Chain A
Amino acid sequence: MNINMNTKKTPSSGIIKKQRLLGAAFAAPAALLVLFATIIPVAWNIVLSFSNWSIIGENSFAGLTHYMEVFANKAALKTVWQSITISLVASVTAMILGTCLAIMIYRVSRLEGAFFRFLFYGPGMLPMTVVGLLFTFVLATDEGLVNNFLKLVGLANLTSPWLAEKGTVLIVIGLVQGWRSSGTIMMLIYTAILGIPESLRESAHLDGASFITQVRRIILPLIRSTIQMAFSFMVMWAFKTYDIVWSMTGGGPGDLSKTTPILIVEQAFKFNKFGYASALSLVYAALIIFVIIIIRKGLGGETYEY
């Protein structure tokens, strides 16, 4: 049986080819940027993690030595634990605060909402180092605002060296970072809430549902996928924390608040252990990816169409 295949080019195939070329031309700058700013550094990082290299000198193959060192080094694992604590506190704080603020702004009038959006988004516009320095003054043991306020209201027994005590330093840094990020989370959640048709709320209102019930039964379920995305972003930002910890405590006292990013920079640029630092950074990146996968699986997130 003969099948007559028509191999003649149609006029539209030329157009598609041109469109593809045009698309490639548009994508090229971005692709180059990604190649040089992400793919090559990551590849180089992987190569370094299997090497012994100290800025100047020969680069020799180290096998899995650096990875084994990472898991055998208690100090490194301690910083991972401290990073997890800070990021957990920061993420939960930012999500709860951001979501509550978004819902409250949605509740008020558009004019008031605009004012409060600007007000609450303010901290997000400040550099992390500025926020960190600001809070070192606020949380100072002797002349800090928090301790003096507690003394003023008769709660002197609650005063504490917030940034110098084992039990508080990680939580306080997490809270500050969470507060600073809450504005961004608020904007993401608020935008998602605006996408919910007003008719859904109106009909719930007519059925006698209070605003709290509407939030619980309508708003939160419908923005679940946005919450999941915001939470993933927040965890990623919080895990990468370097600047706020550095400006608030420098990782101290001792190594009480030293996070893995600080340790990575220290190992590379203080002790010239670039191979070890690269291995640690890759293990840490894998941990972040693992945590984000758990969050995405855990929160689920159905997409509603309305």
Chain B
Amino acid sequence: MKKRMKQLVSILIASALIFSLTACGSKSESTGVAQDNGNAKTAEDTKSGGGENTKKQDLVMIITQATDFDKTLEEKINEEFGEKYNIIFKTWEEQSVEQTVKTAATAGEQIDLVKFWPMQMESFVSANLATDLTGYMDDEWKDRFTDTNILEMGTYDGKLYNIPYDNVYPAIIANSAILAEAGVTLPESGAWTWAEFEEACRTIEEKTDAFGAAIQKEQACWLVRNLFLQTWGNEEDMNAFIQGKVSFKDPKIVDGLEMIKKDFDDGMFYPGEGGLAVTQDQLYAAFSQGKYAFMFVPSSNVVGALDKTGITDYTIMDYPSMGTSENPPLLGGCNGWFIPKNAGNIEGAVEVMKFLQSEELSNYKLSAGKLVVTKAGANSKIDMTLLEALTRNANSIQPKEIMGLDAELNEYIMNLMPANYFNNGKSALDELDALREAALSR
């Protein structure tokens, strides 16, 4: 009897384990539904108080970070759509967003709206992982844009895959107190040449305790990208390079890279050694302590950077020209949103995008220093002097870069340059050329 009881208990335990395994499998199946045709997955949601079961569609978005500005945006989205959708925000992280979306796509998990750069959609478009939004861009929505040409940035083979919302390009904040101490004056109009910028940095280092400049590690590629656009001196050569017809070992590129390398070797960039590994926190902390004079920062982050560093005596200066042209093209583009193929609620995502580009929200974003591409109305609380400083180079933005040729080339330039050139010399250029040739052969 005792033995039988033991056997019974054993079988019960084994059955429980099997059921628990089966339950795990079925749960992941039920939460992993994502359909191409936009039929939405639904989530059970019990209304508080009434006890009545209603079905709300999930709306999963990776568009916000843990900042005060984005938290306010989340609140506004919740206020507007909370009744209609079961809204889920996942934190957007620059380094992992692409992997997160693609992993979710592989697993069939629902993601409806993602913040991504319109000009870097190649890897999603080529893998058929982005939803064609051409049909959703009606006249009413188009009318909200200050210039509809901006939509070209997110257009691939005539199809609109990414909706731009903020202009972003490199800005430089100069600490005026350090400049005054060093006796350095900024040009009244136009930009310095790179040589003049280097000279100013040297003067600052000689006459003060501060370094010349600092750049966040994620933005170090700006130095190379602007070189790739500005070194040619004429549009024809620049376009040939952008189309991949010119080698990365062209003397103009090599000379420019050597120039940048020398600046880092000479300790022009904070903190001297290790100037390519500076995090945003370190960048802000050192600027607020007056450890360097020029901070490279995305135009969309200028207001946030000033808030966090507490610097009030500053000047927004133009990016120094790395070529001979007086009005050099400038890297830049837009932040944007796209709807992945594994979306389950396309309609909801489109509604949110339209809401975020409404006059009210555009106004709010503009007042926070975001250079929105939509009409914002006249009530903005924005500091007009700052707005003017931030937008005066917007017309110089060159929307197409060589990175657009291929996702791997894009990754190499964005994340491995200029560090790989500094560490590996010309073999980095060989690797870039191999990627360029591979892209052209496709």
Contact = CB atoms under 8 A, between A and B. Distances in A.
B144 interface: no
Contacts of A166: 423
Interface in A31-80: 32-33, 36, 54-57, 74-75
Given A29-B18, A33-B21, A256-B419, A271 B407 contact: yes
Interface stretch (A3-11, A135-143, A207-215, A230-238): A135-143
A143 B428 CA distance: 31
Contacts of A249: 277
Interface string A250-263: 10111110000000
Given A32-B21, A142-B271, A254 B424 contact: yes
A304 interface: no
Interface string B61-79: 0000000000000000000
Interface in B1-16: 7, 10-11, 14
A125 to B, nearest CB: 25
B91 to A, nearest CB: 14
A163 interface: yes
Interface string A141-156: 1110000000000000
Contacts of A74: 431
Contacts of A270: 98-99, 102, 123, 407, 411
B30 interface: no
A26 interface: yes
Interface stretch (B46-54, B111-119, B278-286, B396-404): B278-286
Interface string B88-118: 0000000100110011011000000000000
B284 to A, nearest CB: 12
Contact of B123 (A56, A163, A253, A271): A271
B37 interface: no
A32 B18 contact: yes
B143 to A, nearest CB: 34
Report the contact-size class of chain B (Cβ under 8 Å from the partner): 35 or more
Contact of B127 (A55, A136, A256): A55
B123 A252 contact: no
Q: Which residue among A136, A164, A250, A265 has the maximum number of chain B CB atoms within 10 Å of its CB?
A: A164
A300 interface: no
A137 to B, nearest CB: 9
A25 B286 CA distance: 64
Nearest to B286: A142
A142 B299 CA distance: 26
A254 B417 contact: yes
A22 B10 contact: yes
A225 interface: no
Contacts of B103: 269
B11 A25 contact: yes
B102 A164 contact: no
Contacts of A266: 99, 411
Q: Which residue among B7, B21, B98 has the maximum number of chain A CB atoms within 10 Å of its CB?
A: B21
A294 interface: no
B202 to A, nearest CB: 20
Interface string B214-253: 0001000000000000000000000000000000000000
Contacts of B422: 253-254
A252 B279 CA distance: 12
A165 interface: yes
A76 to B, nearest CB: 12
A256 B103 CA distance: 25
B274 interface: yes
B274 A161 contact: yes
Contacts of A33: 21
A272 B127 contact: yes
Contact of A143 (B272, B282, B416): B282
A28 interface: yes
Given A28-B14, A75-B431, A269-B98, A55 B276 contact: no
B419 A253 contact: yes
B338 interface: no
A143 B99 CA distance: 32
B189 to A, nearest CB: 35
B273 A161 contact: yes
A33 B18 CA distance: 9
A29 B416 contact: no
Contacts of A55: 102, 105-106, 127, 129
B420 A28 contact: no
Nearest to B101: A269
B274 A22 contact: no
Contacts of B423: 166, 253-254, 256
Given A54-B127, A161-B273, A29 B420 contact: no
A162 B306 CA distance: 29
25 contacts: A18-B7, A25-B11, A29-B21, A33-B21, A55-B102, A55-B127, A57-B127, A140-B282, A141-B274, A142-B271, A160-B273, A164-B275, A165-B273, A165-B274, A166-B423, A249-B277, A253-B217, A253-B277, A253-B423, A254-B417, A254-B423, A255-B416, A268-B102, A269-B103, A271-B411
Interface of A: 18, 22, 25-26, 28-29, 32-33, 36, 54-57, 74-75, 136, 140-143, 160-161, 163-166, 249-250, 252-256, 265-266, 268-272
The 10 A-B pairs at the shortest CB distance, nearest first, are namely: A161-B274, A254-B419, A164-B277, A29-B17, A164-B274, A253-B419, A254-B420, A142-B271, A141-B274, A269-B99
Given A252-B415, A270-B411, 7 more contacts: A160-B273, A164-B273, A166-B423, A249-B277, A254-B428, A269-B106, A271-B407
